[in-house]
A and B are shown apart, each in its own frame.
Chain A
Amino acid sequence: MDYTVIIGLEVHVQLQTNTKLFCGCSTKFNPDHPNTQTCPVCLGLPGALPVLNREAFHLGMKTGMAINCEIPSFTKWDRKQYYYPDLPKAYQISQFDLPMSQNGWLEIEIDPETRQKKKVGIIRAHLEEDAGKNSHDESGRGQDSKVDLNRCGTPLIEIVSEPDLRSAQEARTYLEELKLLLTYIDVSDCNMQEGSLRCDANVNLHVHKENGETIPTPIVEIKNLNSFRGVEQAIEYEVQRQWNEWQETGLSLKDVPKETRGWDADRGVTLEQRGKEDAADYRYFPDPDLAPVTVTNAERERVFKELCERPAERRARLEERYQLSVYDAAVIIDQGVDFADYFEAVAESSENGKQAANWITQDVLRELKEREMEIAEFPIKPDVLAAILQKVKANEITNNSARTVFQELLNNSKDVPRIEQIQQIIEEKGLGIVSDTGELDAIIQAVVDKNAKAVADFQSGKQAAVGALIGQVMRDIKGADPKMVRQLLIEKMS
């Protein structure tokens, strides 16, 4: 007996608008000043009415298109009704049967070795308003609970995948790809700590019995997944738990209603949840305060034009155009739009994509991490880095010397490093490649003379002995090209 894991994800993403979905209040993350970003509309005061924020709808369309959804011509708003203190109207304005986008897909790579890809179906992506935040006294002293409505009314897009994911790893990859995509097209910052990206996972197993029969186990919705690791771990845990439970009880999907469990990251377990989810009947009905929205072809086209190249497309293009490895292209794309733009600028003006990729994925990325800096703040601009790399390509300096120049520019520039500084540094530090073989010849001769034992070792067939000698030569003459030194040494000793 074995089983297949069936996973579908519901992802809530906060759209980065300045104001809320149905009022003019700020959407700034501001937990230290509760209830300061509110008005009669988002407080749900009697008589207040919602007005759609067109920018939020626009970002919603952009999102829908980025995940290959259809954008229907007609969409409407529905009230999802339940009682909870963080929901002041006692209903959430959401979309029920006519979402603003549907029937899309997102492609993910499910095997880095074979580069096998898979399209994960997207059932729908709809807009809705966020609720506020309750905080409860956890001291056990029975203090009053508190409600902060700053977040209430913030625009969210809920993206519901088909149950197409087959492992915890795939779920994580899907979520990572989705986050990358949404930050790329600039609709959300997807900041998981601040709750801009939240995920629920629906998980069950299809158990394959020996007689060929396949039985689905009860579906469990795991809530409160707020990190990529959390998603992966929670699903892994849940798969094992369901498998154990199946073996114990043999209960199938038909026997047990859908259950909601919460992920406890500290203990690494999912726990049965009680609360508002018990009320299964949300009594959805069309919100009479809001007119339906119609979308024209012209609007669709306009938004589609705004969509930049998506990460998957760009990854493929980088591989193709600059002859990058799959790995390098992925590293560059994963760092975000600005980073990829930086790479392309360097690659284009240095005319060597491969070299640019090596530098950028290693030297530049390491410096960014050490300095905790974004690429936009990085002092060495693409034209300067390209100029350094051109010197290497033209055989004016070695790759090692280029690093020295790079470090010098980074550490000892008063202002933003300029291209002119490169030549100055090369001259000051004597980093230029010595092509005058006369000087080099003399130094090599001196080294050979001093190291009789190494020479003897080499002559008896120990190739490795050359390495130590190269090092000595390089210490004495900075700008030498190690390849040339090696060649000259071998000639001398042979």
Chain B
Amino acid sequence: MSTMSMTASKLLAKMSSGEISSEEITSACLNEISRRDASINAFLSVQQEAALEKAREVDQKRKAGKPLGKLAGIPIALKDNICTEGVNTTCASKMLEHFVPPYDAHIVERLKAADAVLIGKTNQDEFAMGSSTENSAFKTTTNPWNNTCAAGGSSGGSAAAVAAGFAPLALGSDTGGSIRQPASFCGVVGLKPTYGRVSRYGLIAFASSLDQIGPFARDVTDAALIMETIAGKDHRDTTSLDAAVPEFTSKLEQPLENLKVGYVEHLQEEGLHEEVKEATLRALDVYKSLGAELVPIELPHAKYCVATYYIIAPSEASSNLARYDGVHYGYRAKDFENMIDMYAASRGEAFGDEVKRRIMLGTYALSSGYYDAYYLKALKVRRLIRNDFEQAFQSVDIIASPVTPTPAFTIGELVDDPLAMYLADIFTTSANLSGIPGISIPAGFSQNNLPIGLQLLAPPLEEERLLRAARMFERETEWHLKHPK
């Protein structure tokens, strides 16, 4: 097994036994990036020098027997909407192309304190709006399994980086599926924690009530490991939850007893790819074989998720993105006649089509006269969706479903059909709307050798249950051990 396909846990063990140094691991990652990222385009920037310096520092600390953080010496890639002090944070937008934050996001502080090695900032859809990274202002990330296919999005760069062997761990953000969908497309583990589990301080907002930071990893254990570092209350984010953070890795190998797995029998059968359906049913069989009870459930309002999501997310986005006006920082147009013109020209030139589309949708939905019919109505439906899950979790422990209706689509296939792209969010948006945790784990391959993911959902703050259930499946299967050539 090459270093490039090892998990972070394995690498940590090898570092502590002295078999390998952080500098060697980091160099290996950097070499892979420089060798192959020109075709994959996972990274927008690579912090080569800083990463090597940190790796050497960790190696020295280890040699000197000094205390080390939980992720000491492990290279980690960050989505480029997570603020890093002194390092460009662009959101893959021309608007923030040259924006250098004067501060670190909360989770960046935590990763640094845990002695992680931050190697680079990954590509994404502009301002996290999209499902393919095709909306990046700079480049399109390709799927490491097939370079004509999309890596998914919006956190496509992070997913591809982990799948391609550029970094054992990466962080992304998930507003409507932006971690789980690319994880599924790229055949890695992607976790969206409970809303409020991980501080959003320093995550550049897309839709504040839905955004949540989470990890990409090569297996469930690694996802649990990094969660121990990034989860927890942060007083700078008042929506972050004041709940104890379990040691997620400690009980991971203990199977859940009397597990009840919920599933929806006829959810969106039309449009659901046959191979995805088969993989999902196979996964349910795996749980059954492990002694779990399969329980059909009803989520009566699930069919409204996409519509609800595409009112709430753009509404919040229209407000969150209003600050990019060319006055204080970011892109400013060169030619303009007056103040209003400067606003219009700066925003017109620096935002891409999808961002503009969503700003317009949201502005419309919040306008006086439409607010009640759209935004307020969407909030009410959101409450009903949340109630559906509360109800369902009365009788089941977790819910299993597909992540996406199809395996990775071809780059360019849906670019001109935003609605089809939106509708593919059918299985993922519900977790954001209801604030519950969700995970995507490798669960099969299509005939074209493209990964297929399985989504598991759990009640709020039940990441531990979610991770243990995922690990039960992972122990029985080998999908996560396959790597792209």
Mark A residues whose CB is within 8 Å of B: 40, 43-52, 79, 81, 83, 85, 88-91, 147, 281, 283, 285, 288-291
| B77 interface contact, C-beta 8 A | no
Contact across chains for B323 and A44 when beta carbons are under 8 A apart: yes
- Interface set, chain B 200-250, CB cutoff 8 A to A: 200-205, 207-209, 235-239
- Interface set, chain B 357-406, CB cutoff 8 A to A: 363, 366-368, 371, 375
**Can you list 24 contacts pairing A with B, beta carbon distance less than 8 Å?**
A40-B102, A43-B328, A45-B101, A46-B99, A46-B101, A47-B83, A47-B203, A47-B204, A47-B205, A48-B201, A49-B200, A50-B238, A79-B319, A89-B322, A90-B323, A147-B327, A281-B367, A281-B368, A283-B363, A285-B315, A288-B207, A289-B238, A289-B239, A290-B238
Complex interface: chain B residues within 8 A of A43 (CB)? 328
B234 to chain A, nearest CB (A): 9
A51, A83, A289: the one contacting B208 at CB < 8 Å is: A289
Contact across chains for A88 and B327 when beta carbons are under 8 A apart: yes
Contact across chains for A285 and B238 when beta carbons are under 8 A apart: no
Complex interface: chain B residues within 8 A of A49 (CB)? 200-201, 236-238
Taking A43-B328, A281-B368 as contacts, is the C-beta distance between A51 and B322 under 8 angstroms?
Answer: no
Nearest 8 pairs of A and B residues by beta carbon: A90-B322, A288-B209, A288-B208, A283-B366, A46-B204, A47-B202, A47-B83, A47-B204
- A290 and B363 CA atoms in complex are apart in Å by 21
Contact across chains for A51 and B209 when beta carbons are under 8 A apart: no
| Chain B 50-88 per-residue mask, 1 if CB under 8 angstroms from chain A, else 0 | 000000000000000000000000000000011100000
Which residue of B is nearest A40, CB measured?
B103
Complex interface: chain B residues within 8 A of A147 (CB)? 327-328
Complex interface: chain B residues within 8 A of A81 (CB)? 319, 322, 366
Given contacts A40-B103, A285-B371, 4 further A-B contacts (CB under 8 A): A46-B96, A47-B105, A281-B367, A285-B319
Taking A40-B102, A288-B316, A291-B238 as contacts, is the C-beta distance between A83 and B325 under 8 angstroms?
Answer: yes
- A285 and B314 CA atoms in complex are apart in Å by 13
Which residue of B is nearest A44, CB measured?
B323
Complex interface: chain A residues within 8 A of B445 (CB)? none
| B89 interface contact, C-beta 8 A | yes
- A180 and B278 CA atoms in complex are apart in Å by 76
Complex interface: chain A residues within 8 A of B83 (CB)? 46-47
Between B201, B202, B205, B328, the greatest number of chain A beta carbons within 10 A of the residue's beta carbon is seen for B328
B82, B202, B235, B315: the one contacting A51 at CB < 8 Å is: B235
- A482 and B340 CA atoms in complex are apart in Å by 79
Contact across chains for B328 and A88 when beta carbons are under 8 A apart: yes
- A237 and B465 CA atoms in complex are apart in Å by 71
- A51 and B238 CA atoms in complex are apart in Å by 6
B92 to chain A, nearest CB (A): 13
- A52 and B105 CA atoms in complex are apart in Å by 19
- Give the total number of A-B pairs whose CB atoms are below 8 A apart: 93
Between A40, A45, A46, A47, the greatest number of chain B beta carbons within 10 A of the residue's beta carbon is seen for A46
Contact across chains for A91 and B322 when beta carbons are under 8 A apart: yes
Taking A88-B327, A285-B315, A285-B366 as contacts, is the C-beta distance between A45 and B235 under 8 angstroms?
Answer: no
- A83 and B328 CA atoms in complex are apart in Å by 12
| Chain B 256-275 per-residue mask, 1 if CB under 8 angstroms from chain A, else 0 | 00000000000000000000
B122 to chain A, nearest CB (A): 16
Give the bracket for the number of chain B residues in contact with chain A.
35 or more
- A43 and B96 CA atoms in complex are apart in Å by 16
- A48 and B82 CA atoms in complex are apart in Å by 11
Mark B residues whose CB is within 8 Å of A: 81-83, 89, 91, 96, 99, 101-103, 105, 200-205, 207-209, 235-239, 315-316, 318-319, 322-323, 325, 327-329, 339-340, 343, 363, 366-368, 371, 375
Which residue of A is nearest B321, CB measured?
A90
Between A40, A44, A285, A291, the greatest number of chain B beta carbons within 10 A of the residue's beta carbon is seen for A285
Complex interface: chain B residues within 8 A of A91 (CB)? 319, 322
- A48 and B103 CA atoms in complex are apart in Å by 9
Contact across chains for B367 and A283 when beta carbons are under 8 A apart: yes
- A441 and B234 CA atoms in complex are apart in Å by 89
- A404 and B277 CA atoms in complex are apart in Å by 103
Complex interface: chain B residues within 8 A of A285 (CB)? 315, 319, 366, 371, 375
Which residue of B is nearest A50, CB measured?
B238
Complex interface: chain A residues within 8 A of B203 (CB)? 47
Complex interface: chain B residues within 8 A of A85 (CB)? 327, 339
Contact across chains for B101 and A47 when beta carbons are under 8 A apart: yes
Complex interface: chain B residues within 8 A of A51 (CB)? 235-236, 238
Taking A83-B343, A285-B315, A289-B208 as contacts, is the C-beta distance between A47 and B201 under 8 angstroms?
Answer: yes
Which residue of B is nearest A46, CB measured?
B204
- A234 and B371 CA atoms in complex are apart in Å by 37
B310 to chain A, nearest CB (A): 16
- A83 and B342 CA atoms in complex are apart in Å by 11
A168 to chain B, nearest CB (A): 33
B37 to chain A, nearest CB (A): 25
- A83 and B339 CA atoms in complex are apart in Å by 10
Complex interface: chain A residues within 8 A of B96 (CB)? 46
Complex interface: chain B residues within 8 A of A288 (CB)? 207-209, 239, 316
- A334 and B47 CA atoms in complex are apart in Å by 65
A221 to chain B, nearest CB (A): 18
B435 to chain A, nearest CB (A): 12
- A51 and B236 CA atoms in complex are apart in Å by 6
Which residue of A is nearest B363, CB measured?
A283
Complex interface: chain B residues within 8 A of A50 (CB)? 238
Between A83, A88, A91, the greatest number of chain B beta carbons within 10 A of the residue's beta carbon is seen for A83
A83 to chain B, nearest CB (A): 6
Complex interface: chain A residues within 8 A of B319 (CB)? 79, 81, 90-91, 283, 285
